[in-house]
Chain A
């Protein structure tokens, strides 16, 4: 096996990795932490302190938005799991041969196009002059246009749609590895569909459920496009607050503090998920 044999060789081989991680990941985050701990006390005058974090806790709008983003993301994760699980089970256990391959590829197709295009599609469907509203009027269910855009339901539809792939693929992988004979044995021993689901299929699928849920939660939490475009001005999504602090108000200190709070929540959930399922980051990703 050819590999580095001298210390110099190893250092050369390692340098792109170190350069990448230190200059683009580690130092920028440390710098952001530093900026978030600077309080503005006057024009071009800063003091070290936790003022930017205090603002977050004392201003109800900020932490309400933060909490809302968190529980909406949890709800979106749960919905994605609920909708995706039967599909993953169908593809892994019921569909056979070509059909299985075709359904699997069909699941992937929407994700080859930009999230922007997918969200645009939902806007065309849901808006007041949109396809669904027109269809309902034409069929006589309602007699005036209905606006389905710019509310929490629309955000949810968009988030679930955008995240589906990241739930379904890990689920299919774990369900595929479940031996059919275990399910047959469950029936032979007198189990019914429900008890077999609960005692055999779901326990086996836990690693897939955890991986999928972590990824979906993270993507929803950090999403900007879907809440802003489908939720409109009332979307109140935390990434929107970070954006407005940075770009609109040019208050980088406050924005950096918000960024760290979001990063903290996201990392906490990833860590809890991994701990809960007894997995490591290296195993989940690789």
Chain B
């Protein structure tokens, strides 16, 4: 309890051990995933057969390491490409939206704001199927009218990017708008008084102020895109992003190669998270 209040030591011990147990529960699945990436056995399970790097660097079947697995390496590339597209698109639209909601007055602003939040409360799988149904409708319509086949509207990477963009943009907008709200607009006025045009003032004064939020939103978008499964599952074509490839592999049966990829993912996301914390520290000073 609060330090000024005395507490029954027995209750306190139980409470403290509950907290410890909770954090063990949180850490346990990730720990076993990481540890079994180094087990010298065909299956990620006990007994422990000794330490090995083979699941990372092995070159021969069935001891093929992740760095020599074409399918996995290719899907990491696909995921990175999708994540980059989604990230750039969503921070661009997010920044424009932030200016719209913070700087402009117009009819139905409240209504549009709620509409803008909606993608967050729609289950991802539904976002996926609705976009699938609609893009298919458009593609068929165009094909019937003109005979052109628009490949981008069939399941594939374009649709995956659009599907992820459709809800990640909401998050980018919220993050960037929150920062824009804190901006002291007298700084812009000072720039205008000193002879800057409105565009110059925004470019040289406002955007640099927003930079930490824009970078933060970009990193969150990268991570969310990389992790996304539900929306992607419905829109994916022949080029599968990493989560889809791993899911397919997992259904076939698990091998320590999956542990190795998972460990790489953990390292990658922690590194990105650290970058973000670093930039947020910069924001405070």
Q: Is A bound to B?
A: yes
Interface residues of A (CB under 8 A from B): 1-4, 10, 13-14, 16-17, 20-21, 24-29, 31-32, 35, 83, 86-87, 90, 93-94, 96, 103, 106-107, 109-110, 112-118, 120-125, 127, 129-131, 134-135, 161, 164, 180, 183-184, 187, 193, 218, 221-225, 229, 239, 242-243, 246-247, 252, 255-256, 259, 262-263, 266-267, 270, 281-282, 285-286
B165: which A residues are within 8 A, CB to CB?
A: 20, 24
Q: Is B278's CB within 8 Å of the partner chain A?
A: no
CA distance A129 to B254 in the complex (A): 12
Chief secondary structure at chain B's binding surface:
helix
- Check if A4 sits within 8 Å of B103, measured CB to CB: yes
Smallest CB–CB gap between B48 and chain A, Å? 10
What is the CB-to-nearest-CB distance from B119 to chain A, in angstroms, rounded to a whole number?
Answer: 6
Judge whether A222 and B124 touch: CB under 8 Å.
yes
Nearest A residue to B246 via CB reads A116
| Chain B residues, CB < 8 A from A124 | 29, 32-33, 36, 44-45, 254
Q: Check if B29 sits within 8 Å of A2, measured CB to CB.
A: no
8 Å CB contacts to A: which residues of B217-272? 223, 226-227, 229-230, 233-234, 243, 246-247, 250, 254, 258-259, 262, 265-266, 269-270, 272
A2–B188 contact, CB under 8 A?
Answer: yes
14 contacts between A and B (CB under 8 A): A2-B198, A3-B104, A13-B100, A20-B93, A21-B115, A86-B19, A124-B29, A124-B36, A127-B45, A130-B46, A161-B29, A183-B1, A242-B125, A282-B113
Q: Is A184 within 8 A of B254, CB to CB?
A: no
| Residue B10 CB within 8 A of the other chain | no
What is the distance, in angstroms, from A253's C-beta to the closest C-beta of chain B? 10
Bound together, the chains give a CA A221 to CA B125 distance in angstroms of 10
**Given A4, A21, A106, A242, which contacts B26 in the complex, CB threshold below 8 Å?**
A106
Q: Do residues B29 and A281 form an inter-chain contact, with CB atoms below 8 A?
A: no
Beyond known contacts A17-B97, A20-B165, A224-B125: 17 more, CB 8 A cutoff? A13-B99, A16-B96, A28-B130, A28-B133, A86-B19, A110-B29, A113-B30, A113-B265, A121-B29, A124-B45, A131-B45, A222-B125, A239-B123, A239-B230, A262-B126, A266-B121, A285-B120
B47 to chain A: which residues have CB within 8 Å?
134
CA distance A243 to B233 in the complex (A): 9
In the complex, what distance in Å separates the CA atom of A38 from the CA atom of B135?
18
For B43, the chain A residues whose CB sits under 8 A away are 129
Which residues in window 123-168 of B have CB below 8 A to A?
123-127, 129-135, 137, 162-163, 165-166
A117 vs B47: C-alpha distance in the bound complex, in angstroms? 21
CA distance A182 to B134 in the complex (A): 54
| Residue with the greatest number of chain A CB neighbours at <10 A, chosen from B19, B165, B272 | B19
B185 interfacial by beta-carbon distance below 8 Å: yes
- B15 beta carbon closer than 8 Å to chain A: yes
Measured CA separation A24–B135 after assembly (Å): 9
From residue A73, how far is it (CB to closest CB) to chain B in Å?
A: 11
Most chain A CB atoms below 10 A, which of B103, B133, B134, B223: B133
Is the C-beta of B57 less than 8 angstroms from some C-beta in chain A?
A: no
CA A106 – CA B30 in complex, angstroms? 12
The answer, yes or no, to whether B4 is at the interface (CB within 8 Å) is yes
Residues of B within 8 A of A222 (CB): 123-126, 230
Contact yes or no, B125 A16, CB < 8 A = no
Q: In whole angstroms, how far apart are the Cα atoms of A155 and B265 in the complex?
A: 24
A184 to B4, CA, bound (A): 8
With A222-B125, A266-B123 known to touch, is A183 a contact of B2 (CB < 8 Å)? yes
| A121 near B32: Cβ-Cβ < 8 Å | yes
Instruction: Give B151 Cβ to nearest chain A Cβ, in Å.
Output: 18
Find out whether the CB atom of A246 lies under 8 angstroms from the CB atom of B32: no
Asked whether, in the complex, the Cβ of B230 is within 8 Å of the Cβ of A224, the reply is yes
Q: Is B273 an interface residue (CB 8 A)?
A: yes
**B194 is an interface residue with CB less than 8 A from chain A:** no
B55 to chain A, nearest CB (A): 14
With A16-B96, A259-B129: A107-B26 Cβ-Cβ less than 8 Å: yes
Does B201 lie at the interface of the complex (its beta carbon under 8 Å from any beta carbon of A)? Answer: yes
A129 and B30 CA atoms in complex are apart in Å by: 18
Cα–Cα, bound, A4→B198 (Å): 10
Knowing A25-B166, A286-B174, say if A113 contacts B112 (CB, 8 Å). no
**B residues in contact with A285, CB < 8 Å:** 117, 120, 174
Top 8 closest pairs, chain A to chain B, by CB: A121-B29, A222-B123, A3-B103, A28-B130, A28-B134, A24-B166, A1-B185, A134-B46
Q: Which residues of B contact A120 (CB under 8 A)?
A: 29, 33, 246, 250, 254, 258-259, 262
